[in-house]
């Protein structure tokens, strides 16, 4: 793994004392800083939620244009997902 230095800025946040203690413990166990772990967690959260929002927007655009699955497509998907139950 390599390190890429990107421009950064400071963010101050408040954490529950128990959460901060867990973060400290994890930082020590992984030889990483609290800041590194917090930034990684925020990056993953933002990536996941950005993807979900993009998918929702795409779905709404498809719905607005009338692009829906047919009843046959829905039934085929239900059969596939419930097969063997």
Convert the pLDDT of each residue in 8-62 to its tens digit.
Answer: 899 999 999 999 999 999 999 999 999 999 999 999 999 999 999 999 999 999 9
Within a domain: 50: yes
78 located within any domain: no
Alpha-carbon distance 4 to 14, whole Å?
27
Any domain includes 36:
yes
Which is nearest to 38 in space by CA: 18, 57, 11? 11
Looking at residue 4, its pLDDT comes to: 64
Residue 33 in any domain: the answer is: yes
Q: At what angle do helices 34-64 and 17-30 cross, to 10 degrees?
A: 110
Range of the domain at 34: 17-67
Query: How many domains does the chain contain in total?
Result: 1
**What pLDDT, on the 0 to 100 scale, is given for residue 3?**
58
pLDDT higher than 60, residue 2: no
Residue 76 lies in a domain: no
């Amino acid at each position: 793994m390599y390190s890429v230095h990107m421009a950064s800025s400071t963010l101050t946040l408040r954490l529950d004392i128990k959460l901060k203690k867990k973060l400290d413990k994890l930082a020590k166990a992984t030889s990483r800083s609290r800041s590194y772990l917090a930034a990684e967690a925020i990056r993953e959260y933002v990536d996941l939620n950005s993807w979900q929002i993009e998918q929702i927007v795409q779905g709404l655009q498809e719905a607005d244009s009338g692009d829906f699955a047919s009843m046959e497509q829905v039934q085929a998907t239900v059969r596939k997902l419930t097969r063997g139950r």
